[in-house]
Structures are given as C-alpha cells and as structure tokens.
Structure 1
Amino acid sequence: MDRILYTASNGAARILEQQSAIANNMANVSTTGFREQLAIYRSVPVVPHAGELPTRVSTVASTPGSQFGQGAMVETGHALDAAIAGDGWFAVQTPDGEAYTRAGEFAVNQNNQLVTQTGLPILSNDGGPIEVPERGSITFATDGQISALGAGDNPRDIQLLAQLKLVNPARDQLVRGDDGLFRVAGGQAAQADDTVRIAPGFIEKSNVNPAAAMVAMISNSRQFELQMQVIKNASTNEERANSILSAAG
C-alpha cells in the first residue's frame, strides 16, 4: 500500500482535531469569561528509507493552549456581577478541588452562598464559601471586598462579609479542564494576589472572534477536502497499477 495514504490520513486527523476546537470556540462565543481554545499542529519531515528522497511531510499535534486576551467588558449594573479588570481569576470550589474562572456572573443559591451560574461556590481569601445574608444586598469593591446590608437594616449597619479570592498564576502553569475551568498544573491551589482588581457591575464576554473562527472553520474544511482528495487519488492510482500488473501477467 502506498505510504501516502498514511501521510494524508494523519493530516486529516489533525485537521479534525483543530476543527473540533474551533467548533467549541464558536459554541462559546456568548459564554461569559470564556477563553478561546487553541489547537495547533505542525509539520514533521518523514524520514525516508534508503534510496528514497525526503519528499513527504507528516503532521503532529502541538501542545494545546488558550488565548488569554481580555474579552469585551459589558456593563450590566447588576449587584452580583463583577469582571476581572486586567489579569487575574476568580477562585471557585469544584468536586475536584480549587479551580479558576473569569466568569463573574454570580448568583446566590438556596443556602445563601455566592455561587457561579453553574452552582459552584465562590471562594473567599480564607478558602471557604461566601455566605450572604438572607434577602440582603451585597456590594463589591474593586479589591474584591464584599459588604452586605440586610433587608430592612440601617445603611450605617453595613457589614463586611469577606474578600473574594483573586489569583493570578503564571499562564504557563494553567491547564484547561473539560469543564472549561482552569487549574494550576499539579493540582495545588494558587496564592491570592492582592494586586488583582475587579470591575463591579460588569461582566467580561468571551474573547473569541466569531469572524476569525468562521474563517478558520472554512479553511479547515477545504484543507480536509484536499487530504481526502489525495487519499482518493492514491487509491485510484493503486487500482490502475494493479490492473496493469494483472494484464501483464
């Protein structure tokens, strides 16, 4: 069998992997705080056998990554919304330990705890969940301090609840999970960073560029078609060679 089949099929597989990442990005264009996923592949020369010329190139997947540029900031005016201003992350508690997100579209669950839209508890600087007074209103400060006023309380009785755990680990230490959250490689918890600031009443949109993602998806589709055409041509050439040999015999 012509080895070009393996070369072309390998290239097609890498294209499908990248197409899957692009499709995931497109699906999360409207997801608050989403970070664009990168899937990169590179060419690798195929080592020829004795007497052959180095004319073929294979492809391998490179280490996947993420695009960490900031998304558009949108003012909502909601008391429970906050966006990271610049670099940094909110810390949340998951069943597998501490994780990090840029999505600051918070809510209060039935246990009066501050949580993400998916129900994960938001962590305070002391590593615990943040409890909110029942039917109370809360206010975020730019440094992550949370103050609350209970229903019917005098404005002078406002109380300090906690401080959001805001972290800023090195980007090359962060690993994206299947749940879309980021974790520090090795599983350890990142240290709080008191230089991280938030913008109360704002949310950060996804940093995916829809137009660029659509162009990449179309380009990948065309490259996949080219790989399939190479495989088809190789198969046709093999059939013709076999027919010639059969006729000669």
Structure 2
Amino acid sequence: MNRTMITATNTLAQLQKQMDIISNNLANIDTTGYKRREATFSDLLFQEFRNQTNANEEKNRLTPLGIRQGTGARLSQSQIIMKQGNLKTTDRQLDVAFTKEGQYFRVLVQDENGSSIQLTRDGSFHLSPISKNEMMLVTGDGYSVLDENNHPIYITGDAKGYTFTENGQLVVEKTNGTRQTINLGVSLVKKPQFLVQKGDNLLGLPENFAELGVLKQDILTELNGPLRAQIAMKQGALEQSNVDLSKEMTELINVQRSYQFQARSITIADQMMGLVNGIR
C-alpha cells in the first residue's frame, strides 16, 4: 500500500478515539462531579533513509543527516483533568460537594464480578430503607456510601436533620435529642492517570499494579485520622462538571478538520496511483 495511505489510515483511527473522548465529555456536561478527559498525541516510529554517505558533503548543515519519514500519530494518553467544577447551590440537606481538587467519596459497588470500592465526586446522596428503624446512605445510583473504615453507613432511629461538617463528618440529629456522628470515607487521589473509568460516573483502581510499577498508596491516600483535617466540603451544594462547552466544541471542529485532511490524503494517493497505473 502507498506510504501516504498507511500514514493517513493510522492517524484516522487515533483521531476517531479523540472524537470519542470529546463526545463523552460533551455527553457528561451536566453530570455532577464529572471530570473531563483530554487526549494527548505522540508520533509513531520514524523510518530514516541515509541518502548521504559522505558527511563532508553536508558541512554547515543545521538539520540532521538523512531523510526521516513518519508513519502517523497515536493517542498516547487520555488524561483526566482534576480541575474543580463550579458549585451549584441546592439547599438540600443530603447534597454535599468537595471544595478541594482530588478528593473523592468511597462507595461500594456490587456487580457480576463481585464487590469493589470505587470513587465518585457526586455528593447527591439519598436514604434507602433497610428495616423499620434503619436506613442506609446511598448514591443516586443506589451504591452504598462508605465510612472511614470502608463499611456501609447505616442510620438508625428517627432522624429529623442531617449536617455535613467541613471536615467530612455526617451528624444525624434524632427526634429523641441524641446524635449519630459518622466519618465519611474520603480518599485523596495523587496520580489520577492510573484510575480506570468504571461507568456511572465512577472511578476505580487498576488491577495490574505490578505491570504499571505502582502501588495503591502511590495513587491515592485514605484521609483517615489526622489526615481528615485536609477534607473540605460544603453542604447544600453540588459540584458541576468541569467541561467547558465552547472549548470542547472548538476542539471537536479541529479534530473534524484533521480527520477530513487525512481522508483527503487517502483520496489523493489513490488518484496518484491510478495515474501511474494508467501510464502506457
């Protein structure tokens, strides 16, 4: 196949992945606590042709010797952007938003593969009845919110009010005058690029730690004990996504133009091959 076609085809496949990332960002522009992703590209291998055997013939040359021909570009990384989103006031007691970057709630997710602890910035919580006098704190999708010991949070008795403190505590006021204080499970993500998107606005840890050469403590830290002083959250508000519509649309237009350019390259290469084959 013509080298121009190979280069264009390689790049087309990677541009399609970038469009998928941008489309996913746009689709989640109204998703609470969603963090946008950004594509980063790098060049594929270059092939070098040593067309000059005598280096003395190239004295005072500023560029490297030889001719270098690339084979296209590839998507090297889909980087998650941890920038803080705007806060939207709801005045709902069970709504809470982080006011610092990198902090996540821990939730328990149960699926066909078993149960696992995952992370979310979505602080729109609800109460799910367990028995007559017991309720469980869950996310909008029904996942159990965990405490600092990674246990589901159960609220017993008749509650009349809920207060989230700035350092990550849930204080439940009962009708009988007593209080139940619960430390929410909060993690600080230090290396977000190692996290895996699990769907439903959730992030999880990778399974191949040995292959990646990192440990769990390198990626995140559980803010328990004295570390809870680092937690910062606000009750009665939700964090909006950090997706900028104008920026995403501009980037989408640029990718579409690049896609059209690569497709046009294939068409021109095909026409050139047709002309060569038609020479008598």
Alignment TM-score, normalising by the size of structure 1: 0.89
Q: Distance in 2 between matches of 1:239 and 1:158?
A: 85
CA drift of 1:166 comes to 1.4
Q: Secondary structure at the match of 2:23?
A: helix
CA drift of 1:38 comes to 1.7
Q: Distance in 1 between matches of 2:70 and 2:171?
A: 64
Please, which of 119, 124, 128 is the counterpart of residue 100 of structure 1? 119
CA drift of 1:56 comes to 3.4
Pair 1:197 & 2:232 matched = yes
Pair 1:14 & 2:8 matched = no
Pair 1:167 & 2:187 matched = yes
Pair 1:177 & 2:201 matched = no
Pair 1:148 & 2:148 matched = no
| Equivalent position of 2:145 in the other structure | 122
Q: Residues 200-211 of structure 1: matches in 2 within 5 Å? A: 200-211=235-246
Sequence identity of aligned pairs in percent? 24
With 89-98 and 134-143 compared, the bigger mean Cα shift is at 134-143
Q: Secondary structure at the match of 1:125?
A: coil
Sort the Cα spacing of 1:174 and 1:141 in 2 relative to 1 into closer, same or farther, 3 A: farther
Q: Distance in 1 between matches of 2:49 and 2:272?
A: 22
Q: 2:277 corresponds to which letter in structure 1?
A: N
Q: Secondary structure at the match of 2:258?
A: helix
* Runs of 4 or more consecutive aligned structure 1 residues displaced over 6 Å after TM superposition: none
- Number of equivalenced pairs: 241
- Kept in 1: contact 2:47–2:69 (CA 8 A): no
Which consecutive residues of structure 2, in runs of 5 or more, have no partner in the other structure? 52-65, 210-214
Which consecutive residues of structure 1, in runs of 5 or more, have no partner in the other structure? none
Q: Distance in 1 between matches of 2:194 and 2:98?
A: 17
Instruction: Note the alpha carbon deviations across 1:5-31, whole angstroms, 9 max, x for none.
Output: 110011111111000000000000000
Q: Which has the higher strand share?
A: 2
| Equivalent position of 2:61 in the other structure | none
Q: CA RMSD in A?
A: 2.1
Pair 1:113 & 2:136 matched = yes
Q: 1:69 corresponds to which letter in structure 2?
A: K
Q: Secondary structure at the match of 1:33?
A: coil
Instruction: Note the alpha carbon deviations across 1:48-67, whole angstroms, 9 max, x for none.
Output: 35648314352122122100
